[in-house]
Amino acid sequence: MSVLVRANVLADFAFYRRSRLLLAFAILFVLLTCLSALPAIFSESGVESFRSLQGIFSELNGMLLFLAGAVGLFVISSHLRSRCLKMVFTKPCAPSVWLGSAFLSAVLVSLFLNTVILASTVVLSLIWHVPVRAALIFISTDNFITSVGIIAYLMLLAMLLHPALAVTFILIFNAELFYGFQVWTQGAVRAGNSSLYLRILEKVFHLFYLVLPMVNAYGKEIEKVNVSLRVADGEWKYLVYSLGYVLTLSAFCYFLALLALQRKRHI
């Protein structure tokens, strides 16, 4: 099985190179870093250097999450739309091995890019004489864990929906959006609006919030770390909690996607 996993992962890496996703990320990486570094280059202020470093690190991490979702989505959807899986599965290669290998390859790409961003940020810290803080490792680890959950969720949606519909679904049906709706309806009820429909909507929004996966399960608890780049001893536990949540979500998405894959007629 290890031979099959390795072969599939290498094939996926070749697909990523051909798709130019990583090249596009590299171009954006360089452009964004150069533009965001301009204030620090033309200023001798340590505060300005810190702000530039924080902005670059935050923007690159956000862009990486977008790329991780795109990798997970297209590595599945492109093979499904090209209808080449029948040939793959008759080599023989079990659907479970192919799907697991695709997930692993996307995770490895995310890990590599997270490492590149972290290393680049450390280099900029040394150049601008900004103290290298443990919070950089904390944020990069949290970002990587978050990207794993996004990859698993987008792979599931790619297995069930057309890529355009999958993107539309994740933009509309996300936990944060329905949490905002729930807060709004709760505020309206507390303000004196006793409408039955409003109370029903509040329950519906709460149900969607509970069912839909969260991008970052403990984002509010570690929000200060992203702003100050300082992490307290008691905040490291949230990485363990996030990892447990993401592993559970990934396992659920994997088995559901595998069930959908096995029911595809063309395989």
What's the pTM? 0.86
Q: Cα(11)–Cα(102) distance, rounded to whole angstroms?
A: 9
pLDDT of residue 218: 83
Q: Cα(138)–Cα(235) distance, rounded to whole angstroms?
A: 9
Pair 187, 108: CB distance under 8 Å = no
Q: Binning pLDDT at 50, 70 and 90, where does residue 162 land?
A: confident
Which residue has better confidence, 265 or 107? 107
Please work out, in degrees rounded to the nearest 5, the angle formed at the alpha carbon of residue 99 by the alpha carbons of 97 and 104: 90
CB burial of residue 256 (10 Å; 0-12, 13-18, 19+): middle
**pLDDT tens string 130-151:** 888 889 999 999 999 999 999 9
Q: Cα(256)–Cα(261) distance, rounded to whole angstroms?
A: 9
Once rounded to an integer, what is the mean pLDDT over residues 234-245? 93
Across 15-19, 105-109, 210-214, which has the greatest mean pLDDT?
A: 105-109
Q: Cα(225)–Cα(100) distance, rounded to whole angstroms?
A: 33
**pLDDT tens string 47-64:** 777 887 888 888 888 888
**Tokens in use for 254?**
């994997």
Once rounded to an integer, what is the mean pLDDT over residues 111-119? 92
Using alpha carbons, select from 9, 75, 260 the residue that is nearest to residue 1: 9
CB burial of residue 155 (10 Å; 0-12, 13-18, 19+): buried
